[in-house]
Amino acid sequence: MRIAAAALCILLAVPRPQAAQAPDAKTSIMTRIDANRAKYESAALRIWELAEVGYLEVESAALLQSMLREAQFEVSPGIAGMPTAFVATWGQGQPVIAILAEYDALPGLTQDAVPQRKPRDDKAAGHACGHHLFGVGSVAAAIAVREWMVQNRIRGTLRLYGTPAEEGGSGKVYIARSGALDDVDAVLHWHASDRNDAGPNTSLANVSAKFRFHGVSAHAAGFPERGRSALDGVEAMNHMVNLMREHVPQETRIHYVITRGGEAPNVVPDFAEVYYYVRHPLGTTVHELFQRILKAADGAALGTGTTVDHEIIGGVYQVLPNEALARVMDANLRRVGGITYDARELAFAREIHKTFPPDALAIGTESTIADFQEYRSGGSTDVGDVSWRVPTVGLRTATWVPGTASHSWQAVAAGGTSIGIKGMVVAAKTLALTAVDLFTQPPLLSSARAEFDGRIPSGFVYKPLLGDRAPALDYRK
């Protein structure tokens, strides 16, 4: 069943409260963000065009840093051993409120900003998770809050952390591990979505690794007895892991791709590589499952006469929810309000809806400001590690047409249009208003810290799931 134009308008729009006769601080901040919308739109679409993948976001990171320097932030690039990571700071003293920004694209998902499938030959990646909007929206919020702080002589420190390689590279983990968040009182973030939602959320913990098998090459027909196929090792490992699926907790998710499988059928491959993700709602369970996968790899090597080594690429905890902060974020999201499509956007939405399966429509047609309730995302994010170090809160905003799946060409397409920009502006305003509350209402931070301390298990000591490895700066090369 297709959504009618009128229904889309109703579902995307929510009533806005009437403005007070004299604008308060929050109204002024929202007005300021609207006044600079063209600049932020240009920056977001530029990063959408660049579509730089994890740890290679050189121009994207530089653009965001330039905007922050222009706004008189002190910018420190290359933090935590990552050339495309940075921190921008304004102010001094407590409280310290931080905002996260992302900007990496996904490899292979190229698409023009049109509602029909149209890959771009000039691109090798695309912003199928909306991080071009995430980065610029967070910067817009930080700039608006900084201007409010100056005008009202607000004491405290505002930081924006530029965090690369969220898509599998675990950039925020290295920032958390480095101690750069140790004096922060609260962290704010957001994400692209097909609806607006500021409920307290969690996610799946995740460990990823590349398994590299080494064999002996030989002519596959002339001297097959001399060969030991590294690809056989990969395939044997995959078979054993697939048998594991019957004997793991039902919430487990395991995915893999063969990244190297040989060069020619008549040459026994002496090298092959497979890239694995393993996920579960609990980081401890992910660790246990990963140990079983390691044994499967060893068994596969033994059975095929090959050898194997592995490199952990990323590892992230599940997000630790904070309801105290989420209620503040939710109230501000409802004040900002939702999104109304104009005629051109509505036509785009109608066309792209034709590419969705029928069952996807029901998922994406809920009210765009969802009921306040805790939920678990099916994905993973390195925000998880941040949330185990500092009270953290986030929201999702409708940067995509309702029903859009993340990591899809439809997400790339909508993210390159005004539909994506409208959702980004909602996020920027909500983040900024939430920061105002945290700077001006100390009891909110006290409540958030008390809940944070209560959710941390007794005896827990933070140890990154990726261990002590250095950032995997070449994982996308």
Query: Do 436 and 340 share a structural domain?
Result: yes
Query: Do 328 and 436 share a structural domain?
Result: yes
Q: What is the CATH number of the domain that holds 293?
A: 3.30.70.360
Which is nearest to 14 in space by CA: 331, 339, 371?
A: 339
Report the pLDDT value the prediction gives residue 371, as an integer from 0 to 100.
80
Residue that terminates a domain, selected from 316, 346, 377:
316
H-helix segments, 112-203: 131-152, 171-178
Query: Do 306 and 166 share a structural domain?
Result: no
Q: Residue 122 corresponds to which amino acid?
A: D
Supply the pTM of this predicted model.
0.90
Domain that holds residue 335: 5-203+319-455
Q: What is the CATH number of the domain that holds 117?
A: 3.40.630.10
392: left (phi over 0), alpha (psi -120 to 50) or beta: beta
Share of the chain above pLDDT 90, in %: 87
The reply to whether 466 falls in a domain is no
CA distances from 54 to 60, 234, 312, 377 (A): 11, 25, 16, 22
> Model confidence at 390, in pLDDT bands (50, 70, 90)?
very high
> Model confidence at 245, in pLDDT bands (50, 70, 90)?
very high
Give the pLDDT confidence of 104-159 residue by residue, as tens digits. 999 999 999 999 999 999 999 999 999 999 999 999 999 999 999 999 999 999 99
Report the pLDDT value the prediction gives residue 284, as an integer from 0 to 100.
92
Query: Do 342 and 241 share a structural domain?
Result: no
Question: Pick the residue with more confidence: 189 or 354?
Answer: 189
Query: Do 225 and 175 share a structural domain?
Result: no
Query: Do 53 and 174 share a structural domain?
Result: yes
Give 209's contacts (C-beta < 8 A, 6+ positions apart): 275, 276, 290, 293, 310, 311, 312, 313
Report the pLDDT value the prediction gives residue 23, as an integer from 0 to 100.
64
Give 69's contacts (C-beta < 8 A, 6+ positions apart): 75, 88
Report the pLDDT value the prediction gives residue 365, as an integer from 0 to 100.
41
> Model confidence at 18, in pLDDT bands (50, 70, 90)?
very low
The reply to whether 412 falls in a domain is yes
Query: Do 122 and 104 share a structural domain?
Result: yes
Query: Do 329 and 267 share a structural domain?
Result: no
39: left (phi over 0), alpha (psi -120 to 50) or beta: alpha
Give the pLDDT confidence of 361-374 residue by residue, as tens digits. 443 343 467 888 88
The reply to whether 344 falls in a domain is yes
pLDDT, average across residues 435-463: 96
The reply to whether 135 falls in a domain is yes
Residue that terminates a domain, selected from 301, 316, 331:
316
Q: What is the rounded distance in angstroms from the CA atom of residue 401 to the CA atom of residue 4?
A: 13
Q: What is the rounded distance in angstroms from the CA atom of residue 409 to the CA atom of residue 400?
A: 11
Torsion of CA 372, 375, 377, 378, to 10 degrees: -140
Query: Do 357 and 224 share a structural domain?
Result: no
How many structural domains comprise the chain? 2
Share of the chain above pLDDT 70, in %: 93
